[in-house]
C-alpha cells in the first residue's frame, strides 16, 4: 500500500521520543501549541548538546588531555574551564535585560561547541606537544565562555517557556534523554579509542569524535533557533552596577547561593583526579572508566523522570536535599576500589546515577524559584559566578598542590597512600558540610 510523502513528513514532524507533560490547562506565557513546540524541540536539542559535552569532558576529555601531555595542574585547569566561562554571564545578563532577546544570545553562545574542531586539527599539527596542550586548553576555554553566555539566556528563556507546575517532569524527561545519549557516546567513544590505540590510530579516532561533537552541536544550534521565545520586557535604563547589586540585596538568594559555594568547592577539590586516578593508580583501560560513566547515565535514564514526578508532587526542595546527601559518599567508592577489585566503583556509579539525577532535576528548578522575574538574568549570572569561581579556584588549587606533591604514593602509618586519596576524602567531607549548613536553605 502506497504511503504519501506528506504523510511520512507529518509523522516525522510529529514524532516524539517520549510523552510530554500536558500544558493545556496550565498558565503559559505563549499559546499552549507554541509551548509544546518549544518543549518538543528541547527534547532533541538537549541530547545533541550532550554529544559535545560527552566528547569534551569525562573520560574522553581526560584521555585526550593526557595524550597531549597534560600534568596534574593542566588536569585541574581542564576541570575548571567549564565554569570559568561563568564570569561572562554578568555582561550577558546586562545585555539580555537591556535588549530582551534571549534566543539570539543562546544561539550565538551555543556555537562555542564548534571550538571542538580546533583540537581535531591540533592532533595532526607539526608543533611541540606542549604548544598543542596550551592551544587545546585555550580552545576549550573560549568554547566554554561562549557556552556560558548561552546558559544564562537559556535558563531565563526556559523559566518563562516551561510552566512551573511541569518543570520537574519536563526536565526529568529531557535529562533522561541526555543521560542516555551521554551513556552511548561515552562508552562507544571510549571503546573506539581503546581499539584505535591498539593499532596506533588514537589521534584519528579522537579527531573523528571531535568532528562528530561539533556537527551535533551545530544541529543543536539550529533547533535552538527554532524554539519559540516568550516576550521579555527590556529595561534599557538599567546599568551594570545596579544589575550586579540586585542579587546581593536578596537575603533568600544569598543563603541559597552560599550553600552551593561550599558545594562547588567540595566538588572542585576532587573532580580533576577521579579519571586520572582510575587510569593510573587503578590501571583501568579507558573503556572500563567509560563503563562507570555508562552505568551512571543508565541509572539516571531510569531515575531522572521519576525524580521529576516526585519533585512536582512533594517539592523540589526535599528532593534536592535527599539527592545531595546521596552524593556525599561517592568519593569513597574510588578509595575502596583496587586494580583487582572494582566492585565499589561499580556500586558508586549506580548510586551516582540515582543521586546526581535528583540534583540535576531539582537544582535548576529551585534556582528559578529563588529568582524574581525582575532582573532574573542577573540572578542566574550571580549564581553561576558564585558557584563557578569557587569550583575553578578549588580545581586549580588542587592541581597546583598535586603538581608539587607528585603522584608517587606517600607513606602513612605503615601504608602506601596515593596523594589523590586525600583530595577524595576532603571532597566527601565538604559535601557533607554543605548539606548540613544548607538543609533549611535548599
* Model pLDDT, residue 2: 45
CA-nearest of 186, 174, 184 to 223 is 174
Q: Contact at 8 Å (CB) between 45 and 113?
A: no
DSSP code of residue 227: S
Contacts of 71 (CB under 8 A, 6+ apart): 403
What is the rounded distance in angstroms from the CA atom of residue 357 to the CA atom of residue 303? 7
What is the rounded distance in angstroms from the CA atom of residue 370 to the CA atom of residue 367? 5
Q: Is this structure's pTM higher than 0.85?
A: no
Q: Angle at the Cα of 378 (from 372 to 384), degrees rounded to 5?
A: 110
DSSP code of residue 19: P
DSSP code of residue 249: T
* Model pLDDT, residue 75: 74
In the chain, what are the domain boundaries? 31-229+240-437
SS3 at position 256: helix
Q: Contact at 8 Å (CB) between 302 and 413?
A: no
* Model pLDDT, residue 237: 62
* Model pLDDT, residue 234: 63
* Number of residues in the chain: 442
- Number of Cβ within 10 Å of residue 6's Cβ equals 8
The low-confidence residues of the chain, meaning pLDDT below 70, are 1-18, 25, 58-59, 82-86, 233-238, 373, 410-416
What is the rounded distance in angstroms from the CA atom of residue 233 to the CA atom of residue 254? 25
Q: Contact at 8 Å (CB) between 272 and 398?
A: yes
**Residue spans of alpha helices (H) in 249-375:** 251-268, 274-280, 286-314, 316-327, 330-336, 343-370
Q: Contact at 8 Å (CB) between 428 and 332?
A: yes
The superfamily CATH assigns to domain 31-229+240-437 is MFS general substrate transporter like domains (1.20.1250.20)
* Model pLDDT, residue 413: 64
Q: What is the DSSP string of 39-70?
A: HHHHHHHHHHHHHHHHHHSHHHHHHHHHHTT-
Q: Angle at the Cα of 185 (from 225 to 208), degrees rounded to 5?
A: 85
DSSP code of residue 113: G
Show the cell assigned to 182: 551521554
Show the cell assigned to 80: 575548571
DSSP code of residue 412: E
CA-nearest of 310, 332, 59, 78 to 171 is 310
Give the DSSP H or E segment for 135. helix 129-161
* Model pLDDT, residue 11: 46
What sign results for the dihedral spanned by CA atoms 354, 323, 76, 411? negative
What sign results for the dihedral spanned by CA atoms 380, 386, 387, 393? positive
CA-nearest of 92, 76, 97, 146 to 374 is 97
Q: Contact at 8 Å (CB) between 133 and 184?
A: no
- For residue 248, CA distances in Å to 55, 179, 254, 366, 390 come to 36, 34, 6, 18, 17
Judging by beta carbons within 10 Å of its beta carbon (0-12, 13-18, 19+), is residue 139 exposed, middle or buried? buried
CA-nearest of 86, 442, 438, 90 to 246 is 90
- Number of Cβ within 10 Å of residue 340's Cβ equals 7
Q: How far is CA 16 from the centre of its chain?
A: 24
Amino acid at each position: 500500500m502506497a504511503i504519501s510523502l506528506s504523510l511520512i513528513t507529518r509523522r516525522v514532524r510529529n514524532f516524539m521520543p517520549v510523552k510530554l507533560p500536558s500544558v493545556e490547562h496550565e498558565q503559559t506565557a505563549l499559546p499552549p501549541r507554541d509551548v509544546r513546540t518549544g518543549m518538543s524541540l528541547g527534547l532533541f536539542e538537549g541530547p545533541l548538546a550532550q554529544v559535545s559535552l560527552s566528547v569534551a569532558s569525562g573520560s574522553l576529555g581526560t584521555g585526550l588531555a593526557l595524550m597531549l601531555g597534560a600534568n596534574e595542574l593542566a588536569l585541574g585547569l581542564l576541570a575548571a574551564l567549564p565554569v570559568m566561562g561563568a564570569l561572562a554571564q554578568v555582561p550577558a545578563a546586562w545585555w539580555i535585560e537591556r535588549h530582551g532577546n534571549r534566543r539570539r544570545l543562546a544561539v550565538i553562545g551555543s556555537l562555542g561547541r564548534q571550538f571542538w574542531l580546533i583540537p581535531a586539527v591540533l592532533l595532526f599539527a607539526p608543533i611541540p606537544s606542549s604548544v598543542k596542550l596550551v592551544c587545546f586548553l585555550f580552545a576549550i576555554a573560549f568554547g566554554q565562555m561562549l557556552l556560558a553566555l548561552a546558559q544564562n539566556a537559556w535558563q531565563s528563556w526556559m523559566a518563562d517557556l516551561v510552566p512551573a507546575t511541569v518543570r520537574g517532569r519536563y526536565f526529568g524527561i529531557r535529562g533522561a534523554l541526555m543521560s542516555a545519549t551521554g551513556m552511548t557516546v561515552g562508552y562507544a567513544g571510549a571503546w573506539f579509542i581503546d581499539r584505535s590505540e591498539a593499532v596506533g590510530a588514537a589521534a584519528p579516532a579522537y579527531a573523528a569524535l571531535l568532528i562528530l561533537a561539533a556537527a551535533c552541536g551545530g544541529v543543536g544550534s539550529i533547533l535552538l533557533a527554532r524554539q519559540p521565545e516568550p516576550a521579555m520586557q527590556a529595561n534599557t535604563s538599567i546599568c551594570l552596577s545596579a544589575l550586579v547589586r540586585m542579587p546581593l540585596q536578596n537575603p533568600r538568594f544569598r543563603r541559597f547561593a552560599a550553600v552551593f559555594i561550599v558545594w562547588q568547592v567540595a566538588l572542585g577539590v576532587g573532580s580533576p583526579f577521579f579519571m586520572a586516578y582510575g587510569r593510573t593508580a587503578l590501571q583501568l583501560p579507558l573503556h572500563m572508566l567509560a563503563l562507570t560513566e555508562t552505568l551512571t547515565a543508565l541509572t539516571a535514564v531510569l531515575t531522572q523522570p521519576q525524580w521529576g514526578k516526585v519533585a512536582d508532587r512533594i517539592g523540589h526542595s526535599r528532593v534536592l536535599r535527599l539527592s545531595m546527601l546521596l552524593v556525599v559518599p561517592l568519593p569513597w567508592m574510588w578509595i575502596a576500589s583496587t586494580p583487582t577489585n572494582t566492585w565499589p566503583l561499580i556500586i558508586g556509579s549506580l548510586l551516582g546515577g540515582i543521586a546526581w539525577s535528583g540534583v540535576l532535576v531539582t537544582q535548576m528548578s529551585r534556582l528559578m524559584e529563588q529568582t524574581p522575574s525582575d532582573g532574573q538574568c542577573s540572578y542566574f549570572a550571580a549564581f553561576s559566578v558564585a558557584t563557578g569561581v569557587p569550583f575553578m579556584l578549588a580545581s586549580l588549587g588542587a592541581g597546583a598542590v598535586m603538581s608539587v606533591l607528585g603522584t608517587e604514593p606517600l607513606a602513612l602509618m605503615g601504608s602506601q597512600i596515593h596523594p589523590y586519596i586525600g583530595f577524595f576524602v576532603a571532597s566527601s567531607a565538604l559535601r557533607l558540610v554543605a548539606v548540613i549548613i544548607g538543609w533549611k536553605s535548599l
